[in-house]
Amino acid sequence: MERQSKRVERVWLIRHGQTEYNLHARALRLSAEGFNRIVRESEESRLTPEGHGQIERLVGHYQDRPLQAVHSSPLPRALQSAEILSDSLELPIICIDGFREFVPTEVKPLFFPDRDRTLRCWFLHSMSRQFIPLFPVSESVWQARARIKKAWRELLAWTPPDGGSGGTERLVAVHRGTVLILLWALWWDRQWTVVNSDVSNGGITEIIRK
């Protein structure tokens, strides 16, 4: 496993293209239940036409790269993005469950539960609970960090079913939260350095071996 990881010199993390979920304005005011509904529905959100275009415009970057597969989170929006890359590059798609998004936890306000707040406010409320999980949450930040680090190791160790080399580069369709948590996890890693980071829809984060 360690021998294989040394052969990987570069990883490209592609955030999925735009979805309907991404179009929600952060200043939108809604109830706790409205926020919770958005959280539940986000798991199945799919690419908009603009989202398709954002990924299609990236294909040319990877035509001549030493890639053996397109890796992906299993969530629909990431898989759709991976399929666009896969079809154009004629590479198989390999799902890694650990690269799924870090989803906000549903909120249950103790005070003024019926008061509307902005979407941004609800996100901050949810994130604070996930950083300091005094109450049950869907997944804490610390659990997500461990999950994503494990997925990173799985990515580096991957080899094709035919037993050949996995190549020196990896291309992965993932999510904003996944990228941010992975970069946090790699901050102290002496083997890797981030040369570019863009977590906007269709953005590219490039990580290379030092």
pLDDT of residue 166: 79
| Helix H or strand E segment including 77 | helix 76-89
pLDDT greater than 90 at residue 167: no
Q: ∠ CA(126), CA(107), CA(133), 5° rounding?
A: 55
Q: Cβ neighbours of residue 53 under 8 Å, at least 6 residues apart?
A: 17
Between residues 134 and 204, the one the model is more confident about: 204
Question: Which neighbouring-strand residues pair with 10?
Answer: 169, 208
Per-residue pLDDT reduced to its tens digit, 67-82? 999 999 999 999 999 9
Q: What is the pTM of this model?
A: 0.89
Per-domain residue ranges for the chain? Answer: 2-209
SS3 content of the chain, % helix, strand, coil (to 5): 45, 15, 40
Q: What is the percent of the chain where pLDDT is above 70?
A: 97
Q: Is the pLDDT of residue 117 over 70?
A: yes
As a CATH number, domain 2-209 is: 3.40.50.1240
Mean pLDDT (the chain) is 91
